[in-house]
């Protein structure tokens, strides 16, 4: 029994030595009580070293697990940030598309405003041309007015140094008798018309001729058409003035 137990111990020590990756102990030394301590010490040292390595490995494994957990947390946070960044990118792309659409609309409006500006400039140029033309026509009318005023001044009928008619007197021809060469005026003594007074006949801005008053009533008078002043045929509705 003791021999069998000893053999089992020897075999167990050999197996342990193999697992500890050390040289198998000398079985003869294990059988010798005086020499068995040395191989046992070697196995104890190897076992201690192996245990220390195992503890270090365990610590490294725990550190590795902690680092792995931290890395997983960081990876999860990174994924969350990446998702948020992708969402932000999508939002920015949508905003960019809207801005591009708005920019295109604004550009279209600017183009339309440029066209309107060009059209308005053409209208302004036309109005300026019309204004210049109107100013020229006004100057012509002023010249004609000055000429008519001079004619009126030259044609003022004075008697004893006094004017026969009040300045600015105007009237209208009510009837024309071409056979007897006289006209009927719608003004008379109530506005200052006197016999022998001479008045200018005009139609719009056109000088037609001249008449000399021959007979005066309160609100009408008869005047003779002066043939030497005739420019046009006298018509009903023509105006007269002094």
pTM for the model: 0.35
Cβ atoms 224, 216 nearer than 8 A: no
pLDDT score recorded for residue 186: 95
| 153 pLDDT higher than 60 | no
pLDDT score recorded for residue 213: 94
**Residue of higher predicted confidence among 38 and 174:** 174
Give the end of a domain, one of 88, 115, 130: 130
Radius of gyration of the chain (CA): 67
Please state the domain count of the chain.
2
Cβ atoms 165, 212 nearer than 8 A: no
CA-nearest of 13, 49, 18 to 29 is: 13
% of residues, the chain, pLDDT over 70: 85
CA distance 126 to 236: 39
170 shares a domain with 103: no
Looking at residues 203-213, what average pLDDT do you find?
91
pLDDT class of 23 with cuts at 50, 70, 90: low
171 shares a domain with 103: no
pLDDT class of 18 with cuts at 50, 70, 90: low
pLDDT digits (tens, 9 = 90+) for 102-132: 999 998 899 999 998 898 899 999 899 898 9
| 155 pLDDT higher than 60 | no
97 shares a domain with 213: no
48 shares a domain with 6: yes
CA distance 221 to 239: 14
**Residue of higher predicted confidence among 7 and 97:** 97
Q: Is residue 135 part of a domain?
A: no
% of residues, the chain, pLDDT over 90: 24
The single-letter DSSP state of residue 25 is P
Looking at residues 197-203, what average pLDDT do you find?
92
CA distance 222 to 216: 6
122 shares a domain with 25: yes
pLDDT score recorded for residue 160: 42
Highest mean pLDDT pick, 25-29, 162-166, 178-182: 178-182
pLDDT score recorded for residue 24: 59
Q: Is residue 227 part of a domain?
A: yes
Placement of tokens 């012509």 in the chain? 140
Q: Is residue 95 part of a domain?
A: yes
140-177 burial code (b ≥16 CB/10 A, e <16): eeeeeeeeeeeeeeeeebeeeeeebbeeeeebebeebe
CATH number for 178: 2.40.10.340
8 shares a domain with 106: yes
Residue 233 backbone phi and psi in degrees, to 5: -70, 135
171 shares a domain with 113: no
35 shares a domain with 117: yes
184 shares a domain with 115: no
Q: Is residue 140 part of a domain?
A: no
Looking at residues 80-106, what average pLDDT do you find?
90
202 shares a domain with 93: no
125 shares a domain with 183: no
CA-nearest of 180, 156, 182, 158 to 234 is: 182
Report the chain's mean pLDDT, rounded to a whole number.
83
Q: Which domain holds residue 121?
A: 1-130
Q: Is residue 83 part of a domain?
A: yes
Give the end of a domain, one of 71, 95, 130: 130
pLDDT class of 177 with cuts at 50, 70, 90: very high
| 158 pLDDT higher than 50 | no
Q: Is residue 139 part of a domain?
A: no
Q: Is residue 185 part of a domain?
A: yes
Helix axes 2-19, 37-155, angle to 10 degrees: 30
Q: Is residue 172 part of a domain?
A: yes
39 shares a domain with 3: yes
């Amino acid at each position: 029994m003791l021999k069998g137990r000893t053999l089992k111990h020897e075999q167990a020590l050999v197996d342990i030595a193999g697992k500890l990756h050390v040289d198998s102990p000398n079985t003869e030394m294990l059988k010798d009580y005086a020499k068995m301590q040395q191989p046992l010490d070697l196995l104890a040292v190897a076992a201690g070293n192996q245990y220390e390595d195992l503890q270090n490995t365990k610590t490294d494994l725990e550190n590795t697990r902690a680092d792995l957990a931290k890395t997983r947390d960081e990876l999860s946070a990174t994924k969350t940030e990446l998702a948020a960044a992708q969402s932000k990118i999508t939002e920015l792309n949508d905003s960019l598309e809207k801005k591009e659409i708005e920019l295109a609309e604004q550009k279209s409006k600017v183009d339309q405003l440029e066209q309107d500006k060009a059209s308005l400039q053409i209208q302004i140029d036309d109005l300026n041309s019309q204004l210049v033309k109107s100013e020229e026509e006004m100057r012509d009318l002023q010249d004609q007015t000055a000429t008519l005023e001079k004619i009126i001044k030259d044609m003022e009928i004075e008697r004893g140094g006094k004017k026969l008619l009040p300045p600015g007197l105007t009237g209208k021809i009510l009837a024309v008798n071409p056979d007897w060469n006289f006209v009927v005026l719608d003004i008379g003594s109530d506005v200052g018309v006197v016999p022998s007074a001479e008045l200018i006949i005009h139609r719009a801005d056109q000088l037609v001729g001249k008449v000399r008053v021959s007979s005066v009533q309160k609100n009408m008078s008869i005047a003779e058409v002066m043939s030497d002043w005739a420019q046009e045929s006298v018509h009903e509705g023509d105006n007269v003035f002094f």
